[in-house]
Amino acid sequence: MNPSPPPPLPPGRDEIVGWLAGLGERPPGADRLDSMELAWLVHQVEQVYGVELTDEHLERMTTIDDAVVVLAKALNHA
């Protein structure tokens, strides 16, 4: 019997920035997430990882760096 492949690693900063680029150009150095970006990020995470994020997760993701940390914990890679 073959072991299950390991779950994908949580997204890093570069991957999150890449996902957000799907919404359009961001100002250089912009770190804060607006509501549209947060909604898009949540959609991407739920599609790629098959998880549902809670309101508590969303409240803690105000910047890209926050999102990296929150997603690592939510996806059990902290």
Tell me what pLDDT residue 70 has: 96
Q: How far is CA 68 from CA 1, 4, 16, 31, in A?
A: 34, 25, 8, 12
Domain edges within the chain: 33-78
E strand segments, the chain: none
Tell me what pLDDT residue 23 has: 86
Q: Which mean pLDDT values do the consecutive 10-residue runs of the chain (78 residues) have?
A: 73 92 83 94 92 94 96 82
Phi first, then psi, for residue 29 (nearest 5°) are: 80, 0
Tell me what pLDDT residue 78 has: 47
User: Burial of 66 by CB count in 10 Å (0-12 exposed, 13-18 middle, 19+ buried)?
Assistant: middle
Q: What angle do CA 9, 51, 77 make, to 5 degrees?
A: 30
